[in-house]
Structure 1
């Protein structure tokens, strides 16, 4: 009997497929952080007010932007990918419980937890071949 898990494994273990899938995965995960980081720049005062309302000092907003935008770009380009993925995963967990811990925001809590899980997976497996990391590791 044909095992679908083995079939998928055999497909993704092909060099070209692995390169495409790992790149696509990085781009998709990076997208939310790049957009969120940029949004915090364009809506700086609003974000600062929201942070204060949640008990987080708005003085941390520049660091937040650096983590989201910088980490997202690093992930997108595959630069220091394992480090960026780990940092963004921890950031996602922290923000999940600070900003989305209430029952009325359970979907965003689950979103952040899921993103952290995906980022830990990227941390374990690296950027793939189409990345700056791959170029400098040679």
Structure 2
């Protein structure tokens, strides 16, 4: 049973959705909270002009992973994006919550790297 292709493909689909959901929701919330997000980015030394790119990466990359379209490319890009965001925004380890967010993000990077290596499964537009 554990070697079932149907189980593996279903699990990859659920895993893709769970990995990407955070990015789709975050990208969408940045649209409605645009000014506040610009201020937060600026407080970390990130130019606010990059916000449209951030929204596009989160929304489009997340949707690509959910749909399983160009999955390996999207997974690799989101792994890099998440690592960069982690290093920019979650390095204040004097705050326990920042330590937790740092470790959570490293786990997400790991998940995207596994997806990059394993592919999206047959329940995807890539069918691979």
TM-score band by shorter chain is over 0.9
What TM-score do you get using the length of structure 1 for normalisation?
0.88
Which has the larger Rg?
1
Q: Quick one: distance in 2 between partners of 1:39 and 1:111?
A: 20
Match of 2:101 in 1: 108
Match of 1:70 in 2: 60
**Number of matched residues?**
125
Q: Name structure 2 gaps, 5 residues minimum.
A: none
The runs of at least 4 aligned residues of structure 1 exceeding 3 Å deviation read none
Q: Name structure 1 gaps, 5 residues minimum.
A: 1-9
How much does 1:71 deviate?
0.3
Report the aligned-residue RMSD. 1.0
Match of 1:14 in 2: 4
Greater helix content? 1
What TM-score do you get using the length of structure 2 for normalisation?
0.95
